Amino acid sequence: MNTPQTISVNEDSRLVPWWSIVAAGAAFVLVEYYFWLVLPLQQGEHAAAPIGLRVYFGLSWGLLAALYFLMVGYVSKDAPRRAMSTRFWMMLCFVVPCGIGAVLYFLLRAPLVSRCPACGTHVQSDFHFCPQCDYQLAASCGTCFRTVRSSDQFCTRCGHELSNDHMPARLHVLGE
């Protein structure tokens, strides 16, 4: 497993890198340049498209091009947090047409990876126990092993009484 990069959840603005924002702005400007300066010269004065159509296509294609670069930038920062290959997913986003590579990334991406507080092993965020030291990471039902909230009295899936499970004190809600 690759070593994941840590970006705090509260720092979402760092998930879109500066180069991606610059590339998105440049792509938008280039599309506008094409629709307003290059295309009318190629078509001639008599065959020029109506102004409303040029505004619509200029803005829509410019925003799509900008969004494409922003999405590739997001993938470049999000993939390391999930211990996924950044180069592979960025190349897939560039090579596969029409944004299908980015859609594939969002459908197939792995869960976030964090460290076990006890032993420091990289664990996925949906794990209940550390696979190395058996440290309980999240509250779970002792019967069906589904995730439960620490304030629940009974499991919502099987109805098991959670007070019988003897969860560690750190997983209980304070002030009960």
Show me where the domains of the chain are located: 12-111
| SS3 of residue 94 by DSSP | helix
Whole-prediction pTM: 0.66
For 124, other C-beta atoms within 10 Å of its C-beta total: 16
Walk along the chain (176 residues) and give the pLDDT tens digit of each residue: 566 665 555 566 678 899 999 999 999 999 999 988 888 777 666 666 788 888 999 999 999 999 999 999 999 998 888 888 999 999 998 888 888 988 999 999 888 777 888 888 888 777 877 888 878 777 777 777 777 777 777 887 788 777 777 666 555 554 44
What gap in Å lies between CA 130 and CA 127, rounded to an integer? 7
